[in-house]
Amino acid sequence: MRPALGQDVLIPRYADTPRMTTRKESKNRHNKYYFRQKIHEKKQTDLNASFQTPGGARNSNLGWLVNFGHWRYARPQMKGLSMLTVTLLCNPKTPVLEPALADALRNAWGGGDVIWLADGAACEFQINHRPDTFENTWAEMQNMQVDLNVLPSENRKKKILLADMDSTMIQQECIDELAAQAGVGAKVANITARAMNGELDFEAALRERVGLLSGLSVDVIDTVWSDRITMMPGGKTLLATMKANGAYAALVSGGFTEFTSRVAEKLGFDENRANTLLKSGGTLSGQVGMPILGQDAKVEALQDVTQMLGLSPKDVIAVGDGANDLGMLTLAGTGVALHAKPSVQEKADIRINHGDLTALLFLQGYAASEFE
């Protein structure tokens, strides 16, 4: 609740002057405060007007953000605390992130200065604890096509990228595209969706789907690659920027080496791991090589790569969308659920639904001007 003018309350000063003062100790600043209050009330009116739904009505659910606008000068002391970074970002092709929204949220959560990483597309500020209102605020931001995340400020720039392939580094599920060529696309796509949402055992579901490809010409793999597979926006920039800063990149997929090898070469991954489609006489046999690379194998890949490089899981940023990615997302220092299945979003701490793969750079604190 906003205190009455002149009430004796403690106000945290800025970080470079940590002493606590009272308003009565600052009587000589009373008039200055009064006029500042009036200025903030004017800004409050402007901000209220700016929070409109597409239809023109004010978004009352965000009113609590705006109502904290006049407390900007009373931010908490932040020195010596384990800080967190709040990131707001959206699809860079349709930048909808407004400074008024970022400032209002910063004020409501008592944050530091807003730093813009990309005009209209990404910004960040620091706080000293995760707000109790985070989940409700996250939902409101989603309605505004904005991704909101809170992550530790320390060690944000990672030294290893561990990425899933299907629906992550590429926009399709390779096995669904192969199945479409075999005339069983709808059936396989349904199994894929359920498996990726954690409703089916991954290994059993993979064997069933590969079995439906039996007899398909191996030449179809080339056709699918050239005609049906497209890269996820931002992937090339993500790889180039992280590698220019000394990072190692590994592509780890529950899909197939016939595709991961090509994606790795195209985007610049240092290594790739995936399952193998067995062949016989120029056609797919309907079997997959053993052992199957599933959730446990992705965790093992993370452990192998960190051990090889003498690093720890805290140095990894991992990204994926399916239930078989949860193990590596949980173990990594930063685990990102990108356009993920509902069951994955329920368990993931960091979720990107509107941004592209450059969101992983913004989460690490890279500005767009630093992109390769």
pLDDT (tens digit per residue) in 250-286: 999 999 999 999 999 999 999 999 999 999 999 999 9
Per-residue confidence (pLDDT) for residue 25, from 0 to 100: 43
| Residue ranges in the chain whose pLDDT is less than 50 | 1-40, 42-61, 63-64, 66-77
pLDDT at 14: 37
The pLDDT value recorded for residue 82 is 81
Q: Where are the domains of the chain?
A: 24-69+77-152, 160-175+229-278+288-370
Of 281, 275, 283, 276, nearest in space to 214 by CA:
283
Burial class for 160, CB neighbours closer than 10 Å (0-12, 13-18, 19+) = buried
Helices (H) and strands (E) in the chain, counts: 14, 14
| Architecture of the 160-175+229-278+288-370 domain | 3-Layer(aba) Sandwich (3.40)
Domains 24-69+77-152 and 160-175+229-278+288-370 share a fold: no
What pLDDT was estimated at residue 174?
A: 97
Q: Which residue has the tokens 């349709």?
A: 94
Predicted confidence (pLDDT) per residue in 215-235, tens digit: 999 999 999 999 999 999 999
Looking at residue 65, what is its pLDDT? 53
Euclidean distance between CA atoms 233 and 121, whole angstroms: 15
Within 8 A by CB and 6+ apart from 131, the residues are: 109, 137, 150
Checking phi first, is residue 286 left (phi over 0); if not, alpha (psi -120 to 50) or beta?
left
What is residue 79's predicted lDDT score, i.e. its pLDDT? 53
DSSP assignments along 172-214, one per residue: S-HHHHHHHHHT-HHHHHHHHHHHHTTSS-HHHHHHHHHHTTT
Is 197:163 a contact under the CB 8 Å cutoff?
A: no
- Predicted TM-score (pTM) of the model is 0.80
Give pLDDT, residue 245.
Answer: 98
Which amino acids are annotated catalytic? 164, 166
Cβ(315)–Cβ(306) under 8 Å?
Answer: yes
The domain 24-69+77-152 is placed in CATH, from the list 3.30.70, 2.60.200, 1.25.40, 2.30.110, at: 3.30.70
27-64 core/surface letters (b: 16 or more CB in 10 A; e: else): eeeeeebeeeeeebeebbeebbeebeeeeeeeeeebee
